[in-house]
Structure 1
Amino acid sequence: MRDPSLRRSLALFRAFLNEPADPEHCYRLLARDAADQVERHVPLRGAVVADVGGGSGHFTEEFRRRGAHGYLFEPDPAELTARGRTPDGAVLADGYLLPLADGTADVCFSSNVLEHVADPQTFLSELVRVTRPGGLIYVAFTNWLSPWGGHETAPWHYLGAERARRRYHRRTGRPAKHTLGENLFAVHIGRTLRQVRARDDVAVVTARSRYAPFLAETIPRLPGVREIATWNLLLILRRLP
C-alpha cells in the first residue's frame, strides 16, 4: 500500500468498521500496514522486534513473516489467548518493566497501547530503554478527544465518560469494556508531543495521523484541531546514543 493514499485509508476504515464480525482480517491488515511503516525506516529481515502489548500476536506474526526475530510481550492473559491459543514465544509481561536488557531491540513496537496505561511517560521510557542506540521506537495511540477516543462508547464520550458508559449499557445490555481512569486514559496529542520532544534520548522521525489519506504530517502540527482530526497518532522515534 502507498502511504498516505485514499485507497489505503478506505481499506483500513472498512476493516475497522467490520472488526467485530471479522477481527482476523482487520488485525492482519493493520499488521501489514504497520510493518510497511516500519520498513520505510529500518529493514526488518534479521531485526529484533519487541512487540509490547501486542495482544494475540498479529503484529509479531507479520514481523516474523518479513524475516524479523519478533517477540511478543503482553500483560493480559485473556488477550494472549483471544484466538484460542497462546502465540509462540509470547511472554506475559508488564510494559512498565519489560524482561529485556538495555538496548536489546532494533525495533520496539507498540500499537494502540498508550491510551491504556496510567503513566504513559514511564511506559515510553521503558520502550526507549530496551531499544538499541540508532534503533526505532514505533508508538501509535488513539487520543481521548478523537472521534474514537472513547472506544466502544464513542462518540458519546464527548458528553462525558460515565454518561457514555451508561448509554452503552442501555443500548447493548452489557457493560462497556473500557472505563476511563481504570483501563482507558485521556491521552492528548499536544502534551505527548511536547513531552517526547523534550527528551534527550530520542529524536522524532515522524509524528503523523496514522490513517489520514491527506495532510498526515500537517494535522498533528495544528493545536486544537489535532486533538480531534488526528484520530490516531503515529510516532516514530529514533533512539539516540
Structure 2
Amino acid sequence: MVALPALRRLATLNRSWGLLSDFKYEQTRPDIFYGNLALDTSRMVNALSEDISGVSLDGLKVLDVGGGPGYFARAFEDLGATYLSVEPDVGEMSAAGIDVHGSVRGSGLDLPFRSNTFDVVYSSNVAEHVSDPWAMGEEMLRVTRSGGMAILSYTIWLGPFGGHETGLWEHYVGGAFARDRYQKKHGRPPKNIFGESLFNVSCKDGLAWGASVSNAELDAAFPRYHPQWAWWMVKIPVLREFAVSNLVLVFKKH
C-alpha cells in the first residue's frame, strides 16, 4: 500500500466533522450537501493523483461514473481537469439545473467508452446502488489507461448510513423492514429502494475483489470520511463493517 502523504494532510478531524454535519442537508438542501461533497471529492482525488502518479489533476482526463446533477463537474474543472460523467438517470442529470457539457447517459456496468481512455476514473457512492458492483469496478478499470488511476468509493451496508434515507438503525433489522417503515412514516417510497436501487455491499467483499484484480494494483484502501488516524479500522474484520462507513479502493492500472 502507498503511504499517501498528500491525502493524509487533508484527512483531518475538522474535515470529517464538516462532512458529517452536511449530511442532514442531503434531502432538503442538496446544493449544500453535494456542493461541499464535490469540493471535498475533487481535493481527495487530486491528492491521490499526486500520491499515486506524482501529478495533479491539471490537464488530466477524468471520468466520473455516476456524476449526478453536475456539482462535481465544477469542482474538477476548477482544478484544471477535463471532466466527463456517466449517469443512467436523466432526472439526476437535470436535478440541479446545472449544464454539464460532458455528461453522457449510460450505465456503469457497460461504460460507453473505449478501453484505455481516461487518466482517472472514479465513482463515489454509486456501487451500493448497482446489483453487481464489482462488474462496475471492472468496467472502470477497462476504460482507465495504462498507468492511470481508478477510485471506487462506496457506502458499506452495515455502517450507520448503509440504509441511506431509510434511517440510521432500521437497515440493521433488514433492508425490506427499513424500506417499508419509511413508506409508512412518509407516505411514499424512499428514493433508494432495497433490492432494486440499494444493495448490501460489504467492506470484506470490496477488499477481496480489490486484491483479486489482475490488471491493476490495489494501492490504497481507507475510510472515505474518517481522519487519517482512524484509517486502521479497515484492517480489522467485523469492526470495519460497522465503523468504516464508506470504503475507498484506489488502483493503479498496469
Match of 1:91 among 87, 99, 104: 104
Say yes or no: does 1:207 pair with 2:224: no
Flag as ranges the 4+ runs of structure 1 deviating above 4 A.
none
The 5-angstrom pairing of residues 16-31 of structure 1 reads: 16-31=23-38
Q: Which amino acid aligns with 2:229?
A: L
DSSP-derived class of the 1:217 partner: helix
The alignment of Structure 1 onto Structure 2 pairs a total of residues equal to 240
Q: CA deviation at 1:86?
A: 4.6
Say yes or no: does 1:78 pair with 2:85: no
Structure 1 residue aligned with 2:44: 37
Q: CA deviation at 1:138?
A: 1.3
Q: CA deviation at 1:215?
A: 3.4
**Structure 2 contact 71–98 (Cα < 8 Å) conserved:** no
Say yes or no: does 1:123 pair with 2:136: yes
The 5-angstrom pairing of residues 174-189 of structure 1 reads: 174-189=188-203
The 5-angstrom pairing of residues 1-241 of structure 1 reads: 2-42=9-49, 43-154=56-167, 155-240=169-254
Q: CA deviation at 1:158?
A: 0.5
Counterpart Cα distance in 1 of 2:173 and 2:81:
44
Gaps of 5+ in 2: 1-6, 50-55
RMSD, aligned α-carbons: 1.5
Identity among equivalent pairs (%)? 39
Q: Which amino acid aligns with 1:146?
A: G
Q: TM-score, normalised by structure 2?
A: 0.90
DSSP-derived class of the 2:26 partner: coil
Q: CA deviation at 1:214?
A: 4.8
**Structure 2 contact 234–244 (Cα < 8 Å) conserved:** yes
**Higher fraction of helix:** 2
Q: Which amino acid aligns with 2:147?
A: G
**Structure 2 contact 66–88 (Cα < 8 Å) conserved:** yes
Q: TM-score, normalised by structure 1?
A: 0.95
**Structure 2 contact 68–87 (Cα < 8 Å) conserved:** yes
Q: CA deviation at 1:14?
A: 0.9
